[in-house]
A = this chain, B = another copy of it.
């Protein structure tokens, strides 16, 4: 496959760590929330193996925050998500599908409850800030909506716990998954969550003091040598093996939460008020027309840059492959596909249009493990 350069400009925003990762050998970028997100430091497979054994520091500043504060902030945040946040607690993260009035997905942020009247939506790749501003203006809500200066660095991998303990002390290893708290480094308190875009364990540091964050970044590499620390980024292989869904790749504003397997985050039974609730009730009643599932193909190589059609044995178009990678663990190609009803229920054998021919694959449940 041909390679193409990225034409940088102010519109594709740099991060406080960009100059550092460029010295450290970043080779490819993607764009996420109008910002540079590193996509490779040389071989993705080498980086995958390293991530599963050691620890990496990631520039994920592109995970931007939408800060919603003020008297009506809880009302607005709840209006945006089908997840019931009425019992949410300060100091906790919540994975929340954001839904529009048609019942379709707008984004799938992790929402941090900072205070009763202050929330951060740590967003995937779409301008949730304008959705929030539109809803707030339309409803005359008393809220303030901004994109604060927050540039996340993630520390991911099995040795992230040892590295973070060395920097922040024992207490940080006792934090539960999706908890967050404030930890000191050289006189600056950083909000740190036990979270991250891999299933290898780790933390995300929500850096508000840019300079202190850059010092922390450098320090992690200095003291992390004994843990074999490396720069890294969300890893295509690891995230597909772990079935971490990606807005824009695996699902988008044409899909609803039931089609994406987000059922556990949809509360239709309580009296909470959110956009698209009636639509989602209808959809649940009628059943979904398509569903995200796994696909396995006995091939050694794939480089997916757009959807690929999937057919059944009789050449009926039954869906599309949206993400895929060669998996060193499964020793075959694994991917995430949207398959039409009822084919996902009984058509185990499928044919994926790759390299101008239809290659046989098998569908399976998600996650793969």
Residues of A near any B CB (own CB < 8 A)? 2-14, 22, 26-31, 34, 39-40, 100-101, 106, 125-139, 147, 246-249, 253, 275, 304-307, 322-323
Write the nearest CB–CB distance from A156 to chain B, whole angstroms.
Answer: 18
List, in ascending order, chain B residues with CB within 8 A of A304's CB.
9-10
Residue in contact with A137 in the complex, picked from B11, B101, B323, CB distance below 8 Å: B101
Please, which residues of chain B bring their CB within 8 A of the CB of A12? 30-31
- What is the CB-to-nearest-CB distance from A327 to chain B, in angstroms, rounded to a whole number? 17
* A29 CA to B138 CA, complexed, in Å: 37
Within the complex, the shortest CB–CB distance from A322 to chain B, in Å, comes to 5
Q: Is the CB of B126 within 8 A of A130?
A: yes
A253 to B9, CA, bound (A): 17
Which residues of B are found within 8 Å of A135, using beta-carbon distances?
134-135, 137-138
Tell me if B137 and A305 are in contact (CB < 8 A).
no
Q: For residue A28, which residues in chain B have a CB less than 8 angstroms away from its CB?
A: 4-7
A248 and B133 within 8 A (CB): no
Tell me the bound Cα distance from A136 to B133 in angstroms: 12
What is the distance, in angstroms, from A30's C-beta to the closest C-beta of chain B? 5
Contact of A13 among B40, B130, B306 (CB under 8 A): B306
The contact sample of 14 A-B pairs, CB cut-off 8 A, is A4-B8, A5-B28, A6-B6, A6-B30, A9-B248, A9-B249, A10-B306, A11-B249, A100-B137, A101-B137, A127-B127, A127-B130, A134-B135, A134-B138
A178 to B40, CA, bound (A): 43
> In the bound complex, do residue A22 and residue B5 qualify as a contact, i.e. CB atoms below 8 Å apart?
no
Cβ-closest chain B residue relative to A134: B134
In Å, the complex CA distance between A3 and B8 comes to 9
A6 and B12 alpha carbons, distance in the complex (Å): 12
Which one, B9, B34, B130, contacts A305 given CB within 8 A?
B9
Indicate if the CB atoms of B125 and A128 lie closer than 8 Å: no
5 closest Cβ pairs, A-B complex: A138-B138, A134-B134, A11-B248, A7-B39, A127-B127
